[in-house]
Structure formats: structure tokens, C-alpha cells
Structure 1
Amino acid sequence: MKPHFINPCCFGEDFAAWLKQELLRFPDLGIELSEPIQEDYGWGLWASRGKDRFWVALSYVGDGPQEAPAQWVVSVTYDPGLNLAKRLFHKPDQQALQQLRDRVRQILASNSAIRMVQA
């Protein structure tokens, strides 16, 4: 646990930083990435392409690093924010969302230290 964690089981900072660096190796996605952000459930980062913002969330499953092997939930979703008009009328770029999801899945699957379990 690091001193700046907002709760005792807020792991994932290193994982989020690593995933960001891996995503930056694919400029063909055309996305801009934020710095990793701590949430009460783990970490995440914004991926923006044009007017669309996608949230990449990394959630640790468990009560702490004493549980081996570590288990994570990784998700990529479209997030229109609090803009009601955007929520009701804007259709996100589904191709961009799918490309980002596929690339995250590819990055995780290509790392031999990571075992993928599909829900």
C-alpha cells in the first residue's frame, strides 16, 4: 500500500501505468490517454478519440496483495460524462470502442504472466 492510496485495497497503479505504456505503442488507435487515476475500486485512465471518451478501468478482486494469484477485472466503456444531450443523442464511435477493447485484450493476452478468464 502506498501513502497516497485512498483506501487500503486500492491496488493497480503500476498495472494502469504499464497498460498505458503498452497502449501508447499503438498510435494507429488515434487515442489520447490520460494519466492513471485512482478510484475507490482501483485505477483507470481516459482514452479519448475525437469527441468520444472511453474509460479503461482496472479493479482488483480481493482484499489485498496477499491473495495469489492476483485477480483483476479490466473493462473498457464509453462514458459521455454528465452531458445529458450527449447521453441522449450522441452515438459514440463503436469502431473506436471495439478497437480499443480489442487492443487491451490483445495486450493482456500476449503477456505470458497474465491468464485471461472471460466472464
Structure 2
Amino acid sequence: MTVSVTSNTDRFKLSVVGDDFINDCCFGEDFSHWLVSALLAMGIEAEVICMEDFGWANRATFGGSSYLIFVGGYSHQDSSRPNYGEWRVVVERHRTLIEKIRGKNTMAVSDPLVRKVEQVLMDEGFEDVAIEP
């Protein structure tokens, strides 16, 4: 299971498709670097991993758990604000095969890392921050 934290902002690039993009929706490199820096400042071990076909993948460790954090953005197509759009931060806790079989170590909207991501987005003034299971 994954949990998403959504928000709206124009702080990151959503208007120019990069030459290195796998496809036209690989936005999120600047957001990923910003988010990883913000998490590091909160004492959370984090790193940017790579571009994916939907955005960017990152890794974090917090509270004894390992996570993958995926970032993707979609423009609202507002010509007066070309970089304004919705960003989705998807948090997935790493689970072993045995944990998956036994239904252990599952994600929840109350997961501490999800709450940290929500906090950093709200603290930075992102609009319409919401958690979606």
C-alpha cells in the first residue's frame, strides 16, 4: 500500500519538457532535490535516486523503516502561471516478502514519514495539501 500527499504550487518546473525526459511527464527533479534537502534538515536520511517514467524516485530512512518516495507533477495548464500544478508525493514503506505475506509493517495515513512530508509542504506554504490513502 502507498499513501500520497498532494499539493499545488508553482515553485518547480512543469512547463518545459527536458531533453533527457523518458517521456513528457518526467517532471520532479527540482522538487525531489528540494524535498530530500528538507527531509535531511529534519534529521531524516534521504537521497534522490533517479528519473522514472512518471517523475522521480527517492529513498528515505526514518524511525527504523525504509521508504521509497515517488514525486510527480501535472500542470494546471494556466498560461499566466505555467509552472503551477498539482504535485503528488507517494510514500511506500519497504516490506520484506514475509511481512507482505503476514500483512505486517503496512503503510497508513498516520505513518510518521507521511506526516513529515505533509508538515514540510504545509510549512513551505504549498496550497491544498492533502493526504490520500
The TM-score range, normalised by the shorter chain, is: 0.7 to 0.9
**Distance (whole Å) between structure 1 residues aligned to residue 76 and residue 26 of structure 2:** 9
**Distance (whole Å) between structure 2 residues aligned to residue 20 and residue 107 of structure 1:** 11
Query: Residue 46 of structure 2 aligns to which amino acid in structure 1?
Result: L
Note the aligned Cα RMSD (angstroms): 3.1
Alignment match, 1:106: 119
CA contact (8 A) 1:12 1:59 kept: yes
The answer to whether structure 1 residue 69 and structure 2 residue 84 are counterparts is yes
CA contact (8 A) 1:17 1:36 kept: no
Distance 1:62 1:70, change over 3 A: closer
Alignment partner of 1:116: what SS?
A: strand
Aligned counterparts, 1:89-104, within 5 A:
89=102, 91-92=104-105, 98-104=111-117
Consecutive unaligned residues in structure 1, runs of 5 or more: none
Consecutive unaligned residues in structure 2, runs of 5 or more: 1-16
Alignment match, 1:2: 18
CA contact (8 A) 2:69 2:90 kept: yes
Alignment partner of 1:92: what SS?
A: coil
**Distance (whole Å) between structure 1 residues aligned to residue 63 and residue 117 of structure 2:** 19
Which structure's relative contact order is higher, taking Cα pairs within 8 Å and 6+ residues apart?
2
Structure having the larger proportion of residues in helix = 1
